[in-house]
Amino acid sequence: MKVPGGVLLADIALDRTSDVPLHRQLYLQIRRQVLSGRLTSGTRLPSTRTLIRELGVSRITIVNAFDQLVAEGFLSSRIGAGTYVADEWSAQQRPQPAPERPHLSARGAATISARGDLFSRAPQSWSPDESESFISSQGAFEEFPVRVWKRLLSRHGSRRDIDLLGYGDPLGYRPLREAIANYLNDVRGLDCEVDQIAISSGAQQAFNVLAMLLLDPDDAVWVEDPGHIAARLAFQAQGCRLYGVALDEQGADVSFGIARHPRARLAFVTPSRQHPLGMTMSLGRRMEWIDWARDSQSWIIEDDCDSELRYRGPLLPALFGLDRNEHVIYVGTLSKVMFPSLRLGYVVLPKDLVAPFAAVCTVIGRSPSTLMQAVAADFIREGHLQAHIRHTRGLYQRRQHTLLTELGSQLGHCLSAGPVDAGMHVLGWLSEEVDDLHVARSLAQRGVYTYALGEYCLEQRQRPALLIGFAGTAEANMRRAVARMADALKQLGLA
């Protein structure tokens, strides 16, 4: 509409079916036109009478919108002369050279680059409701005792004490720390005290806090190769130099690290079940690592990966329990034995690291929900965690056997896999000439989700293989799940 002395307001369109009041719609649309430069400084707006007629709204609608725009400095009202776009918008509306964007920090750019390059090749998503999944981190969530959890949640949900509703201890809810200390001392023989335990939002947060606490940019860090991706990213984000330590049948070879990269500030190892290859570090090799940490005055982060999910063979003592020099830091999580969205992990620290760890935690984020910690404490203390682990351990062992049977029957001509003593996945070995990264990506495009062993490699090349999870697929569905994989590999010309 064209108004003498006014401006074209053809872009104003009010939606009477919207939940947004009409005066608010009018305000937003005029504001947008001012900010975009369509309504320039000094432009006279149509009179109230004109807007009432053209827009079919009441006078109070116009007045409310204009009053808000005047109050915020978008418009100015001149007695007897009408309403205008305020003068101060002239500077903002003049053409400006494109400003230089602020840059990310070197650490931020390196972190994003490392993660982007890595996970752009990995499966991006899957439905946790699917009855068939080969994702190695997906467990039998349908088997979790939700009725017990609901009862415990109800027990604590009505509490109003400051221990539950306040910010909480940076080290975590003490009853949960006590429950975890008892659990670790009974099951893993750690001989730790409750005051050495800190609760984290999963293992990843623990890695991030420890990297910030213990490492400086350009420090040398040893990681197993192939090895744990999440930990590797935490150290890369800190700007550290990563060096891969080769593996043999006894686990990570400390002599290899000493020969190739003699000085390291920290080493990260998974002795209970090496991730992703699956071997258990021998007792002799564990003592070599402890001796190295003592002699070099370096730290070891021990991720006790899948120690609860052991099906065969002895469970050897944790490095933390063998170390008398307090150079080992033990990290565990409840994600796989309970459920990932719980976001509860734990760290067992040398005594002189407890206060510094708590201080860093207060800087980068508060401890997890105290309510969830209270429920988890009762879940562990009353024996429900141990019962659930015993149940899932037997279940996963049967699912592993069924998976291996079907892989041998349907894909034995192009893929070989053998039983594992612990964990939630087997390795499906492919022919030497196959690119496992390409295979994993292509399978994901066809709705079959696995991970490529190549994703986990830093310097040491491995034979191509896929990490094939068995914990998330029921035995009754395994034949169909493997058939889907076989069809997808056939489409790729590999089966």
Domains parsed from the chain with CATH numbers: 22-93 (1.10.10.10), 145-382 (3.40.640.10)
Those residues with Cβ within 8 angstroms of residue 286's Cβ, 6 or more apart along the chain or in another chain: 271, 316, 317, 319, 322
**Has this prediction a pTM greater than 0.85?**
no
| DSSP-assigned states of every residue in 259-327 | HHS---SEEEE--SS-TTT-PPPPHHHHHHHHHHHHHHT-EEEEE-TTTT-B-SS--PPPHHHH-SSS-
> What is the mean pLDDT of the segment spanning 226-252?
93
Q: Which amino acid would we find at residue 246?
A: A
Q: What DSSP element (H or E) covers 397? A: helix 384-411
Q: For residue 3, what pLDDT is reported?
A: 42
Burial of residue 313 (CB within 10 Å: 0-12, 13-18, 19+) is exposed
pLDDT at 491 over 90: yes
CB 137 within 8 A of CB 341: no
Return the H-helix or E-strand segment holding 76: strand 75-78
Q: Residue 315's closest CA among 324, 306, 323?
A: 306
| pLDDT value, residue 114 | 61
pLDDT greater than 60 at residue 117 = no
| CB of 271 closer than 8 Å to CB of 282 | no
User: Rounded to an integer, what is the distance from CA 80 to the centroid of its chain?
Assistant: 62
Helix (H, G, I), strand (E, B) or coil at 480: helix
Residues 6+ apart with CB under 8 A from 336: 137, 139, 306, 308, 309, 424
Closest among 39, 46, 41, 38 to 2, alpha carbons compared = 46
pLDDT at position 53 = 87
Tell me the Cα Rg of the chain.
30
Q: What is the pLDDT of residues 421-468, one digit of tens each?
A: 999 999 999 999 999 999 999 999 898 999 999 999 998 889 999 999
Q: What is the pLDDT of residues 283-321, one digit of tens each?
A: 999 999 999 999 999 999 999 988 889 998 888 889 999
